[in-house]
A = this chain, B = another copy of it.
Amino acid sequence: MNYARSPLDRETFIQKLRGEGNERFHTKHPFNRMMFEGKLTKTQVRAWIVNMFYYQLNIPMKDAAIISNCPIPEVRRFWISRILEHDGYGKVEGGITGWLKLGEAAGIPKDDMISARFLPGVRFSVDSYVNFARTRHWVESVAASLSDLFYEALAERVKAFEKHYRWVKSEGLGYFRSRLIQTKRDSNIALDIAVRYCDAAELQKRAIDAVSFKNDVLWSISDALYTAYVVNEVPLSASF
């Protein structure tokens, strides 16, 4: 790709973001394919829920890091809703609580999830995502946050649970349902922000690389789960 001269026009830039997003999206990972095809055991599903809780726990800190680097009040005013919706506010319970309820619906007691020892590969991947948001230009981190936009991963996930893992109580899927609504509402605004503030070729390139980086984060989380729970078939208790 040649970024040397002028910035890409809006449509080309969006197309490249999407292309990069789809290229190696984690839904193509063997662990996720197994999930969608109903091939995961109870232990493997629970391992996924427990370990992804570490990701959930860190998302508000990642979003606060973006705000902490962002000098544009209008962007901060929009982005703060992500923290509110994840941590909860007033009577809205938020994504972290939603995830705990998903765990309970799958037979994982809340306290076990909170005190879980997450897989090192999961921790390192998530930590590097938070660190990315702390240290990079804020618009790169906005781009990294766009991944929800590129695939119907959430909808696919809900379908997989409803079809293949009916032992997970249906009310536990509230997390996915709320996220679906939020994502539809927010992701185009986030994309608009990325397009608007990536006003130079160099920044556009970094935004596209950020999408790729985020793919790597999600991919390596799946790698850690796959090697621990599919290849080695570690019993779940080992990670608690």
What is the interface of chain A, defined by CB distance below 8 A to chain B?
57, 60-62, 64-71, 73, 76-77, 80, 83-84, 87-89, 94, 96, 130, 133-134
Contact B77 A89 (CB under 8 A): yes
In the assembled complex, the Cα of A73 lies from the Cα of B70 at a distance in Å of 22
A interface, over-half SS: helix
Determine the chain B residues whose CB is within 8 A of the CB of A94 once the complex forms.
73
A23 CB to nearest chain B CB (Å): 29
A88 CB to nearest chain B CB (Å): 7
In the assembled complex, the Cα of A60 lies from the Cα of B134 at a distance in Å of 15
| Given contact pairs A83-B80, A87-B80, A61 touches B67 in the complex (Cβ within 8 A) | yes
Copies of the protein in its oligomer: 2
Determine the chain B residues whose CB is within 8 A of the CB of A57 once the complex forms.
71
Contact B68 A77 (CB under 8 A): no
Contact B73 A62 (CB under 8 A): no
A20 CB to nearest chain B CB (Å): 25
List the 9 closest pairs (A to B, CB-CB), nearest first: A64-B67, A64-B68, A65-B68, A64-B64, A73-B87, A61-B68, A76-B87, A77-B87, A68-B68
A145 CB to nearest chain B CB (Å): 14
Task: Out of B68, B77, B133, name the residue touching A130 (CB < 8 Å).
Answer: B68
Task: Out of B71, B73, B96, B133, name the residue touching A68 (CB < 8 Å).
Answer: B133
In the assembled complex, the Cα of A83 lies from the Cα of B84 at a distance in Å of 11
Q: Which residue of B lies closest to A130 (CB)?
A: B68
Determine the chain B residues whose CB is within 8 A of the CB of A71 once the complex forms.
57, 61
Contact A134 B84 (CB under 8 A): no
A135 CB to nearest chain B CB (Å): 9
In the assembled complex, the Cα of A66 lies from the Cα of B67 at a distance in Å of 11
Determine the chain B residues whose CB is within 8 A of the CB of A87 once the complex forms.
73, 76-77, 80
Contact B96 A73 (CB under 8 A): yes
In the assembled complex, the Cα of A182 lies from the Cα of B130 at a distance in Å of 30
| Given contact pairs A68-B134, A130-B68, A133-B68, A73 touches B88 in the complex (Cβ within 8 A) | yes
A186 CB to nearest chain B CB (Å): 16
Determine the chain B residues whose CB is within 8 A of the CB of A61 once the complex forms.
67-71
